[in-house]
Structure 1
Amino acid sequence: MRPLDPALLRHARSARGYLAVGALLAAVQALAILAFAWSLQSLVVGLIGGASLESLSTWTAWFAAAVVVRALVAWGWDAAGTIGAAAVASELRLAALRALGRAPGRRAGSTVDTAVAVGGGLDALQPYFGRFLPQLVATVVVVPTLVVAVWIADPLSGLILVIVLPLVPVFMVLIGLVTRAVQERQWEALTHLSRQFLELVGGLSTLIVHGRQHRQEHRIRADTDDYRVRTMRVLRVTFLSSFVLELAASLSVALVAVSIGLRLVDGAMAFSAGLFVLLLAPEVFLPVRNVGAQFHASAEGITAARNVLALIDAPDEERSDAPAGETVAADDAVLDLRGVSVEYDGRAAVEGLDLVVHRGELVALGGPSGAGKSSVLGAVLGFVPHEGEILVDGRADAADRRGRLAWASQEAVLLPGTVAENVALGEQRADPDAVRRALRDAASDDVAPEQAIGARGDGLSGGQSDRVAIARALHRLHARDLPLLLLDEPTAATDPGREARLVQTLRALAREGRAVLVVSHRPAVLEAADRVVRIEAVTHVG
């Protein structure tokens, strides 16, 4: 992300107001610096020249006022930076959540990467708005103002500043490129550490059962040490770059001071003008030096914001040109896939799939593991980016498609509460009879509706959790009278007796006139299907 990325201004309107306030504060700061330098040089010259007490009192008052104004401007920058960073982070989080809501399956990074960027990453925008941007705006507003004032007071000093001042940004650009590379590697180390820790926590119970929890200590320790080393590299670059900027600015100010000193000795320059220019020269380079110094403090926030902006600006999955709600599918087709292809990281998982599922039809998707069967369901649901056209009951928009179907994925996602609350999830009022019917149709009558469960179905076996998720899909199908049911390996963890009952339920749904698409490799499901569509794994050469 550039120091002022247009995408940031586009998605975070608060940033525009912050910049407007910053420009005003920078203008006040420039005037306060001029007043500070002029009053101080007048006070010194007056003391040397024996000026009256009244004159000295006036310049002392101006000097004190300039100091107070500069302090108030610094406080204003800090307050505006805190408020601006919080407002922008909130707007970017909201925009990122909306983007994920439009296309939950977009591959903008892993869940951990997204969580780190949208969470703590955006919190790191405080140094960016509180320290970096104030100096950047001050550089744009204050530096030209002071250079003009120096040129008016002493054209030769102004010329020296104009010549040497661009050298500092050149050093800043070179240092910035190095810093960006180092910071990105540190960010990758942080996300990797977060991912490893999350995976460890998620599988901790399994590791404890098998007595292997302590074997993960070495991996976590190694990742932590790697992140520590990378952090120290960032700090080393920060200190070295700050030294380079300070050296360049000091040498530039020294050129001005030597020129003024020689001319004062020669009598070719008035003492008041020389003192005024000497007071302003360090102030000219101060904002530029601070931009480089504060860039490192804001690097983490910039990196996180760049990742979040990439997530927000990622294109949504292709949509049909048909208006929402307009039925363009032929005959009684409920699900219509036309030339659907799915890729992951540039590698095809599904290529050019054409599939039509009609009302009253039970269709099974078969094929070897890894052939892309679950990816097809993800594309239908709008959770996986795809090419081609997908219509559900004539709807092409992903959100509209999900509103016309019920589904259960291969991995059951259950929430803390009762079984009945999970089955009726999404419905304002749960009919107890409808819940019991859904559980019975899903061959889950061994699970009581009032049974309490924990996160991820804690308290149920794996097979019971899967069947409760299927019961939820059946409850949604009947409660909203939907035409399409999608199931992914519904009998994978089911005994033959319950599998037979579930197959009977699917056949009954087809007889009711609903369309049912099931991903399965179980012979009982494939034999009961009206059609079996086999998907072969895509062969990758090389």
Structure 2
Amino acid sequence: MQATQQQTGSYLKDLTRRARTWLMLSAATSSIACILFILQLCALAALVDNLTFKGQPLDTSVTDCIIILALSVSSFIFQWLADMTGKEGGLHISASVQRDALIHLTKAGPAGCAKQPAGQLITTMTEAAEALEPYFSQYIPRAVMMVVLPIVILGIVFHFDIWSFVILACTGPLIPFFMVLVGYSAQSIMDRQWTQLVLMGSSFLDSLRGLMTLRLNGQTTNSITRLERQTEAHRHATFSVMRVAFLTSATLEFFASLSVAMVAVIFGSRLLAGTADFRSAFIVLVLAPEYFIPLRNFSSSYHARQNAMAAAKQLQTLFTLPEYAVARQSASEPVSSAAPVTMLKLNDISASYEKALILKQISAEIRKGQLTAVSGESGSGKTTLLYTLMGFLPLRSGSVAAYDAGGAQHPLTEENIAWVPQRPLMAFGSIADNLRLGAPEATDDDLKNATRQAGIFDFIMTLPEGFNTQAGERGARLSGGQIRRLSLARALLRNPDILCLDEPTANLDPDTADTIIEMLKSCAKTRIVLVATHDQKLISAAQQVLHINENGSLSALTEKAVA
């Protein structure tokens, strides 16, 4: 869902409140710097007038020179403080937005993010969040100064010359007016640029992931050509933005130059006629260009606002992802001392994605000591059932209860349940690093025990560096079966009471699949093991089978005696 202009503006206002203190400090110090700069110019004009027309000796002007130098240094220091505080405020907001986006993606979970391209999420999390920083560190402080400094200068000019005041007061507002007119067309160009950037990032990531498939199908050249077209489209969009920026600057310079020229011509003619004094003319002519400096600075940062508006739209789209993940509490006592869960009871559970009901009133008891398989056609709801147990998807109705051997009910926590997806993630790093993703405090002995249970320990020991061997990007140096067993070992490393697996034998050769099945049967002796699968051999090996119909209801529940 694309956010409207008004919603985006409200979102940016809400973000401003997060760094209100930093931004107020930036505006305050910048205002002080400008006032000191104006006082410096007035002091300089008085010094020149005294030396040139009033015959003041140079050796008596030392104090005035020191005052001018002090004002100049003070103005520089306060402006530096303004830039630093504005930068800090922008970085604070950018970091907080990235943190909020990560939290929201965690709440959305795998189910909520399933339809969102990974490349778009990455681009939004990085580029869009970072694009907000110039808006708060540059645009907002300069927008404040565009109001403060011209008013102060107009007040001083009004004191010295009414005609110059009228000229500046009439020409000054024309600049923001024309900037707004140009800005409306620039915003649509900026939105198009962000769309091109998102498409390019998504396509590039997809090409990297599917490089092998593209090469096998002879589509590498076509993929490169498509990326070139997207890069060229983004380049054209970027140059369109730059053309608008140059047009805005040209508009500003035209009116600023015209205004200053009018003031200079009128004052020059009045000086020649003897109806104006040099000091007033010098002060006004020095202040006239400074009157347009905050407008010029605002113009140079106006594209930051347009960029932030386009980025905020992307961020709002990310924040509209549904929050499917269920918050799970941590165990109130260590897992080692808590009574293990030995039975899961599903009581008429129903689950859905948005409005589409996937599971319908599923009831079953899943016990420790028996391998339980969930079968059914693709799309019937097998993975959805695991998602509800893992907390990735909330229940529409019904309940899931966990009991220990004594019949006492326990909450499902993050500690007592583990998950092995159909396509396990192997991060870039060593085998040990990947295993410790679920248990960072695990010792070397814990790694050895878990890999022995998963039947992968002997293979790891044959590697030159053992557990320190690099797995490669997404496990590129490992086979599919090795990745599955490592992911199983990673889950077992947490010593969970409940182990859920999604298609653990899919796309594996028969020997590797048989090895995985034996591992699962062994694991089921000491914990609850629930497997969603199409593999008939795995279904035959299970002691309990839950068959789900195409409409999401439980059609059959068969049980076999445990050997």
Q: Which residue identity is paired with 1:469?
A: S
Q: 32, 36, 41: which is aligned to 1:32? A: 36
SS in 2 for 1:491: coil
- 1:163 CA drift (Å): 4.7
Match for residue 545 of structure 2 among 511, 530, 538: 530
Q: Which one of 458, 463, 473 corresponds to residue 481 of structure 2?
A: 463
Trace 1:140-539 onto structure 2 (pairs within 5 A). 140-155=147-162, 157-158=164-165, 161-208=168-215, 213-253=220-260, 271-296=278-303, 300=307, 303-304=310-311, 307-308=314-315, 311=318, 316-317=323-324, 333-334=344-345, 338-343=349-354, 350-351=357-358, 353-360=360-367, 364-370=373-379, 373-378=382-387, 380-383=389-392, 388=396, 393=401, 401-415=413-427, 416-418=429-431, 422=435, 425-426=438-439, 428-429=442-443, 430-431=445-446, 434-435=449-450, 438-440=453-455, 447=459, 451=463, 452=469, 454-455=471-472, 456-474=474-492, 476=494, 479-480=495-496, 482=497, 484-494=498-508, 515-526=528-539, 528=542, 529-536=544-551
Counterpart Cα distance in 2 of 1:317 and 1:432: 32
Matching residue's letter, 2:40: F
Q: Would you say 1:132 and 2:139 are equivalent positions?
A: yes
1:389 positional shift? 5.9
Distance 1:170 1:210 in 2: 56
Per-residue Cα deviation, 1:185-229 (whole angstroms, up to 9, x for no partner): 222222322222223333334545666544433223222222222
* Structure 2 CA distance for aligned equivalents of residues 382 and 41 of structure 1: 73
2-side partners of 1:110 and 1:133: how far apart?
33
* 2:94–2:132 CA contact under 8 A, matched in 1: yes
Q: Distance in 2 between matches of 1:505 and 1:534?
A: 28
What amino acid is aligned across from residue 39 of structure 2 in structure 1?
Answer: A
Separation in structure 2 between the aligned mates of residue 96 and residue 307 of structure 1, nearest angstrom: 11
Residues 407 and 352 from structure 1, CA distance in 2 versus in 1: closer, same or farther, beyond 3 angstroms?
closer
Change (3 A) 1:213 1:277: same
| Per-residue deviation, 1:409 | 0.5
In the alignment, the residues of structure 1 paired with residue 305 and residue 374 of structure 2 have an alpha-carbon distance, to the nearest angstrom, of 50
* 3-state SS of paired residue (2:301): helix
Structure 1 SS opposite 2:454: helix
C-alpha displacement of 1:341: 1.6
Q: Is the 8 A contact 2:109 2:323 kept in 1?
A: no
Kindly tell me: are residues 175 and 3 of structure 1, through their superposed partners in 2, closer, same or farther at Cα, counting changes over 3 Å? Answer: farther
Secondary structure in structure 2 of the residue aligned to 1:177 = helix
Cα displacement (A) at 1:238: 1.0
Which residue number in structure 2 is paired with residue 328 of structure 1?
none
Shift of 1:535: 4.0
CA distance in 2, matches of 1:460, 1:269: 87
When structure 1 is superposed on structure 2, of 174-183 and 348-357 the one drifting more is 348-357
Match of residue 16 from structure 1: 20
RMSD over aligned CA atoms reads: 4.5
Q: Distance in 1 between matches of 2:204 and 2:329?
A: 45
Q: SS of the residue aligned with 1:530?
A: strand
Distance 1:519 1:449, change over 3 A: farther
The equivalent residue for 1:5 is 12
Equivalent residue, structure 2, for 1:46:
50
CA contact (8 A) 2:421 2:501 kept: yes
Identity of aligned residues (%): 29
> Letter of the aligned partner of 1:114 in structure 2?
L
Please tell me the residue identity of whatever aligns with 2:362. Answer: L
For these two proteins, the number of residue pairs brought into alignment is 514
Letter in 2 for 1:41: A
- The CA deviation at 1:239 is 0.6
Work out whether residues 271 and 278 of structure 2, in 8 Å CA contact, stay in contact via their aligned partners in 1: yes
Within the candidate set 88, 99, 122, 1:115 is matched to 122
Q: What runs of 5+ residues in structure 1 fail to find an aligned partner?
A: 326-330, 538-542
Q: Quick one: structure 1 residues 323 and 164, their matched pair in 2 at CA, closer, same or farther if it must change by over 3 Å?
A: farther
Provide, for residues 213-258 of structure 1, a one-character-per-residue CA deviation record: whole Å limited to 9, x for no partner.
Answer: 4443322322222222222111111111211222234444456556
Change (3 A) 1:7 1:236: same
SS at 1:5's partner residue? helix
Specify whether residues 22 and 45 from structure 1 end up closer, same or farther in structure 2 by C-alpha distance, changes over 3 A only: same
State the TM-score, normalizing by the size of structure 2: 0.74
* Structure 1 residues 96-150: Cα deviation after superposition (integer angstroms, max 9, x where no partner): 4444444444449533233334445555566546643442232243233223333
CA separation in 1, counterparts of 2:52 and 2:515? 104
Task: Structure 2 unaligned segments of length 5 or more: list them.
Answer: 1-7, 333-341, 404-410, 464-468, 553-563
What SS does the corresponding residue of 1:532 show, helix, strand or coil?
A: strand
The verdict on how the C-alpha distance between 1:111 and 1:494 changes in structure 2, with shifts beyond 3 A counting, is closer
With over 3 angstroms needed to count, the CA separation of the structure-2 counterparts of 1:323 and 1:70, relative to structure 1, is closer
In structure 2, what residue type is equivalent to 1:46? N
Post-superposition Cα deviations, 1:437-457, rounded to whole Å, max 9, x if no partner, equal 5225xxx68855665562333
Task: For residues 476-518 of structure 1, give each alpha carbon's deviation from its aligned partner in whole angstroms, at most 9, with x where no partner exists.
Answer: 4xx23x2x33221122234556656756766776776x55443
Q: How does 1:75-90 map to 2 (within 5 A)?
A: 75-80=80-85, 83-90=88-95
* Residues 130 and 437 (structure 1), Cα distance of their counterparts in 2 relative to 1, 3 Å cut: closer
- 1-side partners of 2:142 and 2:436: how far apart? 56
Q: 1:293 to 1:6 in 2, by over 3 A?
A: same
Which residue is equivalent to 1:540? none
CA distance in 1, matches of 2:191, 2:42: 45
Cα-to-partner distance string for 1:370-390 (whole Å, 9 max, x where unaligned)? 555435544553456x67368
CA distance in 1, matches of 2:398, 2:152: 60
Give the letter for the 1:227 counterpart: H
**TM-score normalised by the chain length of structure 1:** 0.76
Q: Following the alignment from structure 1 to structure 2, what is the Cα–Cα distance between the partners of residues 271 and 372? A: 87
Q: Distance in 2 between matches of 1:425 and 1:388?
A: 29
